[in-house]
Amino acid sequence: MAERFPGYEIRRAFTSRMIIRKLLERDGIKVDTVAEAMERLVREGFQEVICQPTHVMNGYENEDMLRQLQQYRNCFRRFAVGAPLLSSGSDYRALAAALRREFPVPNKEEAIVLVGHGSDHFANSAYAALYYYFQAAGMERWFVGTVEGDPDRESVQALLRKSGVSRVYLAPLLLVAGDHAVHDIYGKEDSWQAELEKDGLQVTPLCRGLGELQGVQELFLLHAEQAAGIDSSASRAENLPR
């Protein structure tokens, strides 16, 4: 971000108060909430602010962030907010291409299963949309599930049985491979890996958060540039995976 926005100061804020509290209590690391970060920018006299969320979709947390930011829109000469990771058809296509470039190519006996968080928010449809874009891109053996929404584990298991695969590459569809990855995706009991193995599948974990992937980083940068009104066509053509 700093390389693509020379002359800008880079700040960060978290939307999860639970993670903010945990980092402070466990590691002594203080991270601002969204409101704290904005108040600090106002006090320090900044006149141009670009906020780029690292949310995967336009769900509850992104809506809550937008509500908090709304009251600060008139505090700066210029204020812009970028879009979450999956916000347009081109985003889905770019993410599919980035994942295809980073992960193994499954043969006829293999599949790749990506597991996101899931939500009861209508934005949960992003997971089904991603699966559609996989199919449209010829990625027939790529499947999408969630920990707390739809498609659920049972739905994906049914698709895997129908496909006749014997081996699954299992990866988090999460920005960070944290608690949900450790316990809900790869845990010893009642996890995605444990239940898929009960079905007789060989499971190979690919425990990397989306934020580690260059193509995903590029998408967030692109959204920040679009919010800032920067012509990003050159960077898009050069850096986005195809």
* Whether residue 121 lies in the annotated active site: no
Reported as half-sphere exposure (CB side, CA atoms, 13 A), residue 113 has a value of: 34
Catalytic annotation, pick one of 117, 180, 183, 223:
117
Which of 172, 174, 197, 176 minimizes the C-alpha distance to 185?
Answer: 172
Contact 191, 142 (CB under 8 A): no
Contact 73, 41 (CB under 8 A): no
Residue 48 β-bridge partners: 78
Query: 207 CB contacts (<8 Å, ≥6 apart)?
Result: 171, 172, 177, 181, 185, 186
Q: Give catalytic residues, as residue numbers.
A: 117
